A and B are shown apart, each in its own frame.
Chain A
Amino acid sequence: MLVNAYSKRVFNLAYQFAGSYQEAEDLTQDIFLKLYGALKKYDFEKNFTAWLLTLAKNHLIDTYRKTKWEKAHRDEFDEQFAAPGSAQGPESGLIQEADRKLVWEGLNRLAPETRIAVILRDIQDKNYEEVAEILDLPLGTVKSRINRGRLQLATILKDRKEDAHDL
């Protein structure tokens, strides 16, 4: 069943992109509604997961563009851990947690196209070829976009740490 197989992946993509649990639920529902409507158009020679994630990515970016003024805030990082069913990351410790909190908030500073590329590569652990297929972009463009996104996040991390040291 499609829902069992793909809902978690789509929901997490929506959550990491939008940053709000409630909004991610609505987005996931919309994406699955679109999916059932678009199944007739699916070309069986294509990779289904990539096709589904492309559909999800298009919906996320379209929705972002329509309502971006409402996307100024992400859920608090602590709330995210407290959310039902959240799983602890592989690393523990205060520094790592502080870094995670900063990059989580920093994701909102990235342009939607860059954000989705970074999420697919670094959070969802897709390889560059898969990301290029999902985003329908040349491999070189994807690599430079991801590098740019990481550098932006790294700069945020660096600046916040320097601010913390200055205090």
Chain B
Amino acid sequence: MTCERIEGLLSAFLEGELSQTDKAFVESHLAVCPDCTALLSVLSRTQKALAGLPELHLSPGLMARLASIPERKRKFSLTFDLVLKPALQPVFAAASIFLTLLSFYLFNPDRKNIDRAIDQKIHTGYSQVEKLYATAGSYTDRLGETADNVYVSVKNWKVFGGNDDEPNKL
């Protein structure tokens, strides 16, 4: 137990950071404990070895790469700013929705049924358009006939040299 406690104090002992009481306690223990004395010696060597590890210089290649970072960062930032322009955001939103739907379609295991449903919808839509077109054609004909009748009636009015006395009577 004492050795464990001493171990916790050895660094501070080496660095002269212990209070007088703790220092005396460590010294008295070291005087009777060869293991802790040996540990203190190795600890001191460890600290010296760590302090003696060499400091390396950077390679010129790394220095050049580090020096070019601000410029690269600035270019990247410009590109990124362009991408983040508010005006482009609806485009990106629309593209995202489109791509989501496309991926939903492309990767759906039930793709054949989707194809069939789309095909059906297109055919239904097409026939509805055809019907509308036909209805619009009949309305055009009827409108033409009505216009002709109105033209003939107006032409028959006395005012315009016709025989009809009653302009209100069409």
Which residues 19-68 in B have Cβ within 8 Å of A in the complex? 38-39, 42-43, 45-59, 62-63, 65-67
Q: What distance in Å separates the Cβ of B75 from its nearest Cβ neighbour in chain A?
A: 12
Q: Does B11 count as interface, using CB distance less than 8 angstroms? A: yes
A contacts with B, residue count (CB < 8 A): 49
Q: Does B70 count as interface, using CB distance less than 8 angstroms? A: yes
Establish whether residues A150 and B11, one from each chain, have CB atoms under 8 Å apart when the complex forms.
yes
Q: Which residues of A contact B65 (CB under 8 A)?
A: 29
Q: Which residues of B contact A100 (CB under 8 A)?
A: 49, 52-53
Of B7, B38, B48, the contact of A91 (CB 8 Å cutoff)? B48
Q: Does A25 count as interface, using CB distance less than 8 angstroms? A: yes
Docked complex Cα distance between A28 and B64 (Å): 12
Docked complex Cα distance between A111 and B93 (Å): 46
Establish whether residues B45 and A99, one from each chain, have CB atoms under 8 Å apart when the complex forms.
yes
Of B12, B39, B58, B70, the contact of A154 (CB 8 Å cutoff)? B39
0/1 string, A73-90, CB within 8 A of B gives 1: 000000011011111111
Establish whether residues B38 and A85, one from each chain, have CB atoms under 8 Å apart when the complex forms.
no
Q: Which residue of B lies closest to A87 (CB)?
A: B54
Q: Which residue of A lies closest to B52 (CB)?
A: A89
Q: Does B69 count as interface, using CB distance less than 8 angstroms? A: yes
Q: Does A147 count as interface, using CB distance less than 8 angstroms? A: yes
Q: Does A94 count as interface, using CB distance less than 8 angstroms? A: no
**Sample (5) of A-B pairs whose CB atoms are under 8 Å apart:** A87-B56, A147-B11, A154-B39, A154-B42, A154-B43
